[in-house]
Structure 1
Amino acid sequence: MNVRETNQIDSFRALALQVTCSAVNQASDRSEAASLMQKSINRLASQIAASIAFIGSDCRLIVLPEYFLTGFPLGESLAFWAEKAALDMAGAEYEALGKIAQKHNIFLAGNAYELDPNFPGLYFQTCFVIAPNGSIVLRYRRLNSMFAPTPHDVWDRYLDCYGLEGVFPVAKTEIGNLAAIASEEILYPEIARSLALRGAEIFLHSTSEVYGKERSPKEAAKISRAVENMAYLVSANTAGIINTPIPSASVDGGSKILDYRGIVLAETATGESMAAFAEIDLTALRRYRRRPGLNNLLSRQRLELYTESYSKSHFYPANTMLEQEVDRQHFLHTQQSVIERLAALGII
């Protein structure tokens, strides 16, 4: 982990910016998709500038929704989606987003499909954080995905390239220790806990999910992840996805910020909105974490109780994409075999 910044900011404002995703599925090739992505970035630049003007210059962290530049694949093969919609790790899109972060002196977080030269032919869904100097200070690859490659699918090689700290990265910055959780991974408590064990204080949650009056499992999970890890959570949802056959408002609304007690500090309804902004008080968070008592759940963890159960259990297998090219049916077939095996063992 990085050494903690000496120029610490005690408190600042964060924004979960709820914006419409303009999908690139209808683009015929990379050139057309890149043009659409640049239009989205240009629109974001104006929205971010206007939001900061309203909130104030102490807005130092902005979180964008899941795959905000591209939408998600709708039947495209892995290879075609990688070619058309995945970003290069040092590509023009990151450079353009970096200029926005520099201009406004903010940490800008988001989520995109990304290529990695260490894994030709694959892409990963990547959460990133760009610092005020324009450089990427955090790159987290989604570990649980139904229909996309993950580091776990090429596990041995991924560990050789990045190590375990690269699987669970925490960026120690002037605005606190930042970590990312991708979309439905909010339902996997082990991910947030692994990040908290590495010092995470603020979870950045880029998502694209159904929002409604009834609290969904993901809504309950957001509160749980904040409480059990004593961390802030900034969750940015899409304001719908356009340019696909799916009704555009299917994933629209509910961006929010929760504090380390699970209290919702700000929340927006549907549509494009900058209403989900709130103060992040690092001094209060750290004081809360260092106070003995019933609510200090981190200090009361007895991790040795669980290690054997985890180490002896094998569910979804690693390395299934290490030496073979696959299509999207691979993920369903693998899951079905896991279900059958767990049923035979009497686990489910």
Structure 2
Amino acid sequence: MSDILTVALCQFNVIPGNISGNLQHVQALAKKAADIGAQLIVFPEVALSDYYLDDFSSMAAAIPGEQSDIISQLAKTINSHIAIGLVELDNGKLYNTAILVSPAGEIVGKYRKTHLSVDTRGGTIKAETEEFGAGEELPVFETELGTIAMMICKDGDYPEVARVLAVKGAEIILWLTNRAGVNTGASVHYAHSNCSAVITSNRSKGHALGGGSIIVDCSGKKLVEANEDASILHAGIDMDNLREKRKIHWEETRVRRAELYGTLGRLGLPVADRFS
């Protein structure tokens, strides 16, 4: 019998600044997802505070801390893994962080967003670089479900991130985001090109646009896709099939020409110089 992993994503209208209300919503959604058999439940980026705030510091908490402790207890109660985005406070500095919590209530993965947004709209949006510190690692996490990695919103605008995670062994890539709409084609491409399942979780429409959350298998097949409305989506990922396909996929990559990709490792890129 195949090892089928049931995963779910919860796309909902995150209310700006309403930590207690968003927590209650997360708890209710997680319980519903667990009731349909989800072993891994994925929420959006900054799911307790939302993104459109003037003051992130008032929404921040240490990890472990008050907010993550509630998520840990929730994971224990429903006996499922939970991935969720939080605003982390560490030594006076803020980070846009995602945590992965096991059914035992343990934080088995923590990732800080590495690629922060900059203001390219003349002050119409607040640059993340003004608010957050950037993460310095692209970790993968060995869990009882498989090898899992996380990336956050703008990280996914750089295909190198998903590639590094896959090269490090990520069987499942969780892409937590909070934006006007998801480019589902990117999720499909990352799944297909890296032979990793991709679960992309966004907020729903509400006070701002949203939607487009998606679950994609390692061949790039869309298993389920959301519109703009609030929803819980779930799908089964055949982990045995995934692992068999990954053996073939990574064997084929022996012909990749890494010596030709050196330009990508430069701090400055030729194309950017044209617009400076």
For residue 145 of structure 1, give the secondary structure of its aligned residue in structure 2: coil
CA distance in 2, matches of 1:168, 1:14: 22
Tell me the equivalent position of 1:130: 101
Task: Report if aligned partners of 1:230, 1:298 keep a CA contact under 8 Å in 2.
Answer: no
RMSD of aligned Cα (Å): 2.6
**Structure 1 residue 98, shift from structure 2 partner:** 0.6
Q: Which runs of 5+ in 2 are unaligned?
A: 118-126
Confirm or deny that 1:12 pairs with 2:5. yes
> Distance between the aligned counterparts of 2:192 and 2:251, measured in 1?
10
Q: 2:88 aligns with which of 93, 114, 118?
A: 114
User: Paired residue for 2:30, among 48, 58, 68?
Assistant: 48
Q: 1:108 to 1:297 in 2, by over 3 A?
A: farther
Superposition pairs of residues 298-317 of structure 1, within 5 angstroms: 298-306=253-261, 308-311=262-265, 313-315=266-268
1:175 aligns with 2:145: yes
CA distance in 1 between counterparts of 2:133 and 2:98 reads 18
Identify the structure with the greater strand proportion: 2
Conserved 8 A contact 1:229-1:298: no
Structure 1: how far apart are the matches of 2:193 and 2:159? 9
Aligned counterpart, 1:61: 40
| CA distance in structure 1 between the aligned counterparts of 2:69 and 2:104, rounded to whole angstroms | 11
Q: Which runs of 4+ in 1 moved over 6 A?
A: none
* Code of the aligned partner of 2:30: I
8 A contact 1:73–1:81 mirrored in 2: no
Partner residue in 1 for 2:202 = 237
For residue 256 of structure 2, give the secondary structure of its aligned residue in structure 1.
Answer: coil
Offset, 1:153: 6.4
Please tell me whether the aligned partners of residues 33 and 41 of structure 2 are also in contact (alpha carbons under 8 angstroms). no
Task: Please point out which of 93, 103, 111 is paired with 2:67.
Answer: 93
Q: Does the 8 Å CA contact 1:234/1:256 hold for their aligned counterparts?
A: yes
Specify the SS of the correspondent of 2:56: helix
**Structure 1 segments unaligned to the other structure (5+ residues):** 1-8, 25-35, 160-166, 242-247, 317-337
Change in Cα spacing, 1:300 to 1:226, as seen in structure 2 (3 Å) is: farther
Partner in structure 1 of residue 120 of structure 2: none
Q: Secondary structure of 1:290's match?
A: helix
Please say which structure displays the higher CA radius of gyration: 1
Amino acid at match of 2:143: T
Does 2:180 align with 1:227?
Answer: no
Q: Distance in 1 between matches of 2:252 and 2:226?
A: 29
Give the share of equivalent positions with the same residue, in percent. Answer: 26
Counterpart amino acid of residue 43 in structure 1: H
TM-score, normalisation: structure 2: 0.86
How many residues matched? Answer: 265
Output the CA distance in 2 between the equivalents of 1:269 and 1:310.
Answer: 34
Q: Could you say which residue in structure 2 is the equivalent of 1:268?
A: 226
